[in-house]
Structure 1
Amino acid sequence: MVAYANYTAREFLTAPEDAIFSRLVRSDAVSGFSQLSHKQGWSWVESVRLMKSACEQLIAANPTFASIGVVLEYRIPRREKRLDAAFLFRDTIAVVEFKAGSAAATSEALTQVADYCLDLAYYHAVSQGKKIVPIVCSTEAKSGQVVPTSDATLIEDIHCVGEACFAPLLIRIASEDRKVNSDNIAHERWCASPYRPIPGVIETTVSLFNKHGSDDINAALADRDTIDQSIQAIASIAQDSRERNQKTLCLRTGVPGAGKTLTGLRIAHNTDFLEAGWRSVFLSGNGPLLKVLKAALAADYKDHQGCTKVVAQRHAESLLHSVHAYLAEARKTQSPPSESIVIFDEAQRAWDAAKMQKMATRQRSFGAVSELSSYPEPTSEPSQILEVMDRHAEGVVVVALCGSGQEIHDGEAGVGEWITARNQSYPHWRLVCSASAIERAGVDAALANAEVWSSMHLGASVRSHRTSEHAAWVDAVLTGRPKDARRYVDHAGFPIALVRRLDDARAWLRKTTLGSRRFGLVASSGCARLRPYGIEVSAGFRKELDYAEWFTAPRGDLRSSFALETAATEFECQGLELDRVAVCWGWDLTVGDGELLPRTFRGTNWNNVKRAREREYTINKYRVLLTRAREGLVIWVPLGDEEDQTRSMLDMNRLADYLVDCGAQPVERPANGSFLP
């Protein structure tokens, strides 16, 4: 049930109040929401009374307003919430949050109505491109106010009104509605509109593993053609592998934000696999990602089950697994694991043989007997995964999810190591991959004996709701192609701002991030000279921080990203996302003569990075940082200090000019010195 009730203004005005109330009660009884409370019933009575009065005044002001659509209790998928009411004009939608008996709009009410409006603007097909006006009607309020939003958002300022001002506000909105040659939005069409939310990684993980809301998640992902085709392709490969006792390696690539992790989670929860008796396991070598997801799973499980924190943490630990721990456990026996399907997330970061040996040697030197020090010979993680799964006598599938251009540290093997491991030691395995995987590995598909499927690559970002080309913009910026970059900029759908002061970046985030959306600072781990500005990125400092709290704690918690006191580096935020991000740019990646110049800080000086692989790591760090945002980002380029040679003003001025040439929009500090109202 999408909405409890919907009418034209004329129909709503003429319908008896008790009939409307009965319809709301009946709809609520079958909606799956909590049992109707006395407070909710009283709120509906008050809301219906006010809306009837408003409809009467609208029609009296202009008889053509009789066809305005009126919707009550529209369900917002995934939020387990319903917006109270919506008035549908020609090119404008007014979303109303009623607070019966309240004398003022609370911050909670402002957050609620902003969330509803943003969700409509981003996900609701009929609402996209419309003017969306949020309204909080506190019935006992004696005066009204307007809470400004920002030009960098998709919704209008929030109107806070009392009973006396409610109808006049709707009349003004209707009168100012754009004069287009069309009728008012039909309420039936609006209620039946496709609603296509793209959930975040944390939300998807919680919903799929803890089961509540998973239908909405599955529907949202299935609605994206490329994602659905990819999932179907892997499902068919798994079925073939099962029927033919075939061992198969799938290398699925994708641009940043394309939904690799989301679809990997969907594959892990495929009901067809479970019904066939095939167990699956979701692995990752990304420690911070696992820590954040486990914390979110545990918190949600505790809230819904009413169990202790310890029990909830144990539950979360059983669902997501470190690839290092998984392999260490597998090496204790030569028996095949219980799983027939392995999904390896962030597989481009799998360690090569040298890295595995280095880590094992380091742990042995400290007298540690651990998951890594048990390896007898230096084989890569891809090779070890294939060895473990090759123990099965019947068919198995390994799905390696590889991000394009996201190798960020030494020892990360990249997609080529998966192909090498298969070709050298497991040639009997079937290899299905994308053309991108073959290209990045630098091999010939025929020589590699690989099947190249287009469905094995996700080429469009779904992280950014209103622009699928942000990843292309980032790639153009990082490869020195400003002309191409400008073609991909869409400031209406995804604002990209540029400021020169850190406080201005913080103010931009606070001003433009509405509702319960999350924002935060991110910075490269190589930004050693951001310390004078209060941004510390050293490994020792980051080790003391709890990034699970940074990603999940609410506003007001100083440990959270909302505090804007600490920055997450590429290591903490790879695979995760925020709604809005401030990228703190440092002197480790400057620009000159049309190309980006990666540098590293040693002692008291910056040194140019000469080795091609290490240059790529630095550029990829910024690729990760620039693709973390879902709804918009601001880039802070420090002014520098002419007295400090390690913070060159010239370098940063050049960089700022380059980013503006690429399409970033400079935001000047207002005359009053503040971005906030």
Structure 2
Amino acid sequence: MRRSSGMGIIRWCGREALLTRPACHAAYRLHFRCKTQVIPCLPQKPWSLDRPDPASLAFGELVENLANTTCGWASDLPSFSSASLDEVVNALTDFVRESTPEQIRAWRKSIKPLQQQSDQIARSQPTGAQYGAILEYIMPEGMHRADAILLISGAVLVIELKGDGVWQPEYLEQVADYARRLFWFHTLCGAENVKVHTVLVSYGREIEEEQHEWHTRANISNLLNVVRRFDRPDEAKPIPVAEFIQPLTNQPSLSLVQAARRYFAEHALPHIKRIDAITSGAIEECMSAIRSAHATQSRRLILLSGVPGAGKTFVGLKIAHEPTLENLAETQPNGEKVTVPAVFLSGNGPLVEVLQYELKRAGGGGRVFVRGVKDFVRRYSSKRASTPPHHVLIFDEAQRAWDSAKVRASHDDAQAMSEPEAFIQFAERITGWSVVIALIGDGQEIHTGEEGGIGQWADAVAHRPGWSVMGPPRLARFFSEKGLAFKTCDSLHLATSVRFNFAAGLSDWAAELVSDNPSSARLQALAMDLRANGYQLRITRSLQAAKEFLWGKYRHLPEARFGILMSSRDRDLAKYGLVQNRFLRPGPWYGDPEDSPSSCRRLQDPATEFAAQGLELDHVLLAWGSDFVLEGQKWSNANAKRYKDRTVKDPMQLRRNAYRVLLTRGREGVLLCLPDGIPALNQTYEFLAAAGCEKV
């Protein structure tokens, strides 16, 4: 080896070149991509007290680091365990540009014992040589890095290293979320049934080991045994390192508000692999029916149903902004061609306001994104009304369409018809062809005048010739009862929730919970499955403890949205400062950051079921009211505020539906708070705790 103070030699394609020390460092990093050989020269003094000098490295056979923009180190387990400490630390320092001397010292203390354990794992496990090691991996939300990740057979272990083995409760929740978010958002994990678990490893002192649903605390000397708990060499192969670290494998799902924000900023709705896989069949079926209606100059009613969070609204928005619809537009009687072939309409005032607020924030304009049903009906219902300039009318939450009595009262028009009848009539005025798409949720009728449900749509087309109706088999009876032909299509029911990140059973859990005779055994089984898929069901009797928990959980995730929800019919929560704000503005409440006084993250103003339906939060703090409590084995609404509207048919059913909506707004979890100062909630609290909710 040639020696020279501060110099080095690079060999490439049989040639040598003399390098200065900084150039030697750059060439060392370049080695991993170009397969160069760097021969370092011995320095006269250390380059830095904390940063390793590449000129101090003694190379044998160099190890290939596959790391890219997602991590600082990535290799198979044998390569990681045999790499020199300086080699690994240099790679991490190069990746984490803001690394401090303290961080580098922590790497030097923790990596060596991890390498020693990795060597044992690689040698002792049947397929250990194929396992992978990834260091400083950027988590899906982009705000944190995991210390290390081990890719073993059928599992992914997130490793968090600490010298003293002391972890605060807030940090334990954060690292458990590392595992949950990889399971939810990494396309090679949850979607492929790969177990993900966080292991908090103490390498400086002995600790008492603990095992939990999503994290384990262990000593470094016992890491091999932890690996054996999750390793399934006879059933699965480890995920290849090069595939795991590909940037496109991390696809956090977006809330409706986030998707709208992306659309307004980029003029395109995002493609999320899992959402596309669940909704693509419904979109293709609807687009096929639209093209057929255009080709045959006919009229279609399409019913698309789904469980809460299944992506119905997402489907509607995708269809409304399908660019190929412009090719199907007809020239209207006034000689003008339809310029906006499809329109997305919602009777959900808060949803309309939130989306319009996001449009305004993004500086948007131009093409109509969403309009309110009430204004649309008023505009086109008068005798002198013009023809709607749209071939495709998409009615969101169509099960909540107003009946004729509600429309007459709202519009002060004794001749007014139900909203379904009005939409069918509007569509018949459109030249050539038209399609009405009704997006239907399950059990979410919460307003008066919404109790007519699907039957209103059957009545709307019952005596109007020329309409073809299609939808999922589960809705056929509403039309067959009236002697109407109904084409069934399985893809027009979305049975899997994408809102809840693999926790599809939340809708079932909520439905069982509010049913006439809820079964504790069934609730516990559903809750167990929800927890296994990362969904968090928690309960407390302290409102302040609930607030502190959520503030701590999402402190480092500024884009996350969490807030307080409550029932509109409660009488008793006001004593805890939870007062319904009649002037609550849903747009700022859902969209603004925490420094805004209107933001939901401040946990001040609660929203009711009316402001929550059709929208979602990452986490919900549900303040349970005395308007829906267990008395014996039955739910009671005896203490609920009474409805002034005498047309209400079943107040108890509206309460059930309201709580079902409130329970299913959280994408990652729901934290139930039943304040201990309300005795009427005591039995309900015990029942909910036994139904699978973890106490905070």
TM range (shorter): 0.7 to 0.9
Would you say 1:527 and 2:562 are equivalent positions? Answer: no
The match for 1:304 is: none
What is the Cα deviation at residue 391 of structure 1?
A: 1.2
The match for 1:28 is: none
What is the Cα deviation at residue 283 of structure 1?
A: 1.1
**Which amino acid counterpart does residue 7 of structure 1 have in structure 2?**
S
Any idea what the Cα deviations from partners look like across 1:246-305, whole Å, max 9, x if unmatched?
111112222222221122222223344345457211111111111122223433x2xxxx
The match for 1:448 is: 484
The match for 2:228 is: 179
The match for 2:391 is: 340
Where 1:210 maps in the other structure, the secondary structure is helix
The match for 2:132 is: 69
The match for 2:527 is: 489
Alignment CA distance shift 1:207-1:23 (3 Å): farther
Would you say 1:468 and 2:504 are equivalent positions? Answer: yes
What is the Cα deviation at residue 471 of structure 1?
A: 0.7
8 Å CA contact 1:7–1:71 kept in 2: the answer is yes
Query: How far apart in 2 are the matches of 1:296 and 1:462?
Result: 22
Would you say 1:655 and 2:692 are equivalent positions? Answer: no
The match for 1:434 is: 472
1:577 to 604, 609, 616: 616
**Which amino acid counterpart does residue 348 of structure 2 have in structure 1?**
N
Alignment CA distance shift 1:3-1:447 (3 Å): same
Any idea what the Cα deviations from partners look like across 1:441-461, whole Å, max 9, x if unmatched?
5x5357132223222222233
8 Å CA contact 1:83–1:95 kept in 2: the answer is no
Where 2:637 maps in the other structure, the secondary structure is strand
What is the Cα deviation at residue 524 of structure 1?
A: 0.7
Query: How far apart in 1 are the matches of 2:433 and 2:90?
Result: 57
8 Å CA contact 2:349–2:372 kept in 1: the answer is yes
Which residues of 2 match residues 287-302 of structure 1 at below 5 A? 287-299=349-361, 301=362
2:365 to 315, 322, 340: 315
The match for 1:245 is: 297
* Greater shift in the superposed pair: 509-518 or 495-504: 509-518
Where 1:430 maps in the other structure, the secondary structure is strand
1:279 to 335, 341, 355: 341
Query: How far apart in 1 are the matches of 2:184 and 2:541?
Result: 30
Alignment CA distance shift 1:655-1:126 (3 Å): closer
8 Å CA contact 1:482–1:658 kept in 2: the answer is no
Any idea what the Cα deviations from partners look like across 1:314-342, whole Å, max 9, x if unmatched?
52894221122233443576543332112
Alignment CA distance shift 1:554-1:316 (3 Å): farther
1:210 to 234, 254, 265: 265
The match for 2:606 is: 567
8 Å CA contact 1:297–1:316 kept in 2: the answer is no
8 Å CA contact 2:78–2:118 kept in 1: the answer is no
Which residues of 2 match residues 230-241 of structure 1 at below 5 A? 230-241=282-293
Larger RCO of the pair (alpha carbons < 8 Å, separation 6+): 1
Any idea what the Cα deviations from partners look like across 1:154-189, whole Å, max 9, x if unmatched?
4679xxxxxxxxxxx996685564225557754135
Where 2:416 maps in the other structure, the secondary structure is coil
The match for 2:55 is: none
What is the Cα deviation at residue 382 of structure 1?
A: 1.7
What is the Cα deviation at residue 40 of structure 1?
A: 7.4
Any idea what the Cα deviations from partners look like across 1:554-608, whole Å, max 9, x if unmatched?
23444222222221100010011112212222222223353322336569xx99x
What is the Cα deviation at residue 472 of structure 1?
A: 0.9
What is the Cα deviation at residue 529 of structure 1?
A: 2.2
8 Å CA contact 1:112–1:515 kept in 2: the answer is no
1:405 to 443, 452, 460: 443
What is the Cα deviation at residue 628 of structure 1?
A: 0.9
Query: How far apart in 2 are the matches of 1:499 and 1:40?
Result: 40
Any idea what the Cα deviations from partners look like across 1:342-367, whole Å, max 9, x if unmatched?
21112222222221221222xxxxxx
Q: Rg larger in 1 or in 2? A: 2
Which residues of 2 match residues 133-212 of structure 1 at below 5 A? 154=214, 174=223, 177-180=226-229, 186-191=240-245, 197-211=252-266
Query: How far apart in 1 are the matches of 2:694 and 2:232?
Result: 37
8 Å CA contact 1:261–1:345 kept in 2: the answer is yes
Alignment CA distance shift 1:45-1:240 (3 Å): farther
Query: How far apart in 2 are the matches of 1:316 and 1:528?
Result: 44
1:93 to 146, 150, 157: 157
What is the Cα deviation at residue 212 of structure 1?
A: 6.6
What is the Cα deviation at residue 523 of structure 1?
A: 0.8
Would you say 1:7 and 2:75 are equivalent positions? Answer: yes
Q: Which runs of 5+ in 1 are unaligned?
A: 25-37, 98-104, 136-142, 158-168, 302-311, 362-374, 642-648, 668-674
Query: How far apart in 1 are the matches of 2:275 and 2:633?
Result: 39
8 Å CA contact 2:391–2:434 kept in 1: the answer is yes
1:132 to 177, 181, 198: 198
Alignment CA distance shift 1:44-1:276 (3 Å): farther
Any idea what the Cα deviations from partners look like across 1:96-150, whole Å, max 9, x if unmatched?
89xxxxxxx9xxx999988765421322243752223589xxxxxxx99x9xx99
| Count of residues in correspondence between the two structures | 582
Alignment CA distance shift 1:243-1:116 (3 Å): farther
What is the Cα deviation at residue 81 of structure 1?
A: 7.8
Query: How far apart in 2 are the matches of 1:451 and 1:285?
Result: 27
**Which amino acid counterpart does residue 360 of structure 1 have in structure 2?**
H
**Which amino acid counterpart does residue 437 of structure 1 have in structure 2?**
L
Any idea what the Cα deviations from partners look like across 1:178-202, whole Å, max 9, x if unmatched?
2255577541353479656432111
Query: How far apart in 1 are the matches of 2:269 and 2:136?
Result: 22
Query: How far apart in 2 are the matches of 1:621 and 1:507?
Result: 26
8 Å CA contact 2:199–2:216 kept in 1: the answer is yes
Any idea what the Cα deviations from partners look like across 1:485-507, whole Å, max 9, x if unmatched?
33322252423233333334334
8 Å CA contact 1:6–1:71 kept in 2: the answer is yes
Percent same amino acid at aligned positions? 26
The match for 2:63 is: none
Where 1:208 maps in the other structure, the secondary structure is helix
The match for 1:324 is: 374
The match for 1:221 is: 275
Query: How far apart in 2 are the matches of 1:111 and 1:530?
Result: 28
Query: How far apart in 1 are the matches of 2:439 and 2:284?
Result: 15
What is the Cα deviation at residue 239 of structure 1?
A: 1.7
Alignment CA distance shift 1:547-1:583 (3 Å): same
**Which amino acid counterpart does residue 188 of structure 1 have in structure 2?**
A
The match for 2:407 is: 356
**Which amino acid counterpart does residue 286 of structure 1 have in structure 2?**
N
Where 1:198 maps in the other structure, the secondary structure is coil
Alignment CA distance shift 1:466-1:385 (3 Å): same
**Which amino acid counterpart does residue 564 of structure 1 have in structure 2?**
L
Where 1:390 maps in the other structure, the secondary structure is helix
Query: How far apart in 1 are the matches of 2:211 and 2:674?
Result: 22
* Greater shift in the superposed pair: 44-53 or 331-340: 44-53
8 Å CA contact 1:591–1:597 kept in 2: the answer is yes
* Greater shift in the superposed pair: 542-551 or 66-75: 66-75
Query: How far apart in 2 are the matches of 1:352 and 1:577?
Result: 27
Alignment CA distance shift 1:532-1:188 (3 Å): same
Alignment CA distance shift 1:271-1:171 (3 Å): farther
Query: How far apart in 2 are the matches of 1:438 and 1:595?
Result: 32
Which residues of 2 match residues 487-566 of structure 1 at below 5 A? 487-490=525-528, 492-493=531-532, 494-510=535-551, 512=553, 515-516=556-557, 517-537=560-580, 542-566=581-605
1:614 to 637, 647, 651: 651
8 Å CA contact 1:499–1:637 kept in 2: the answer is yes
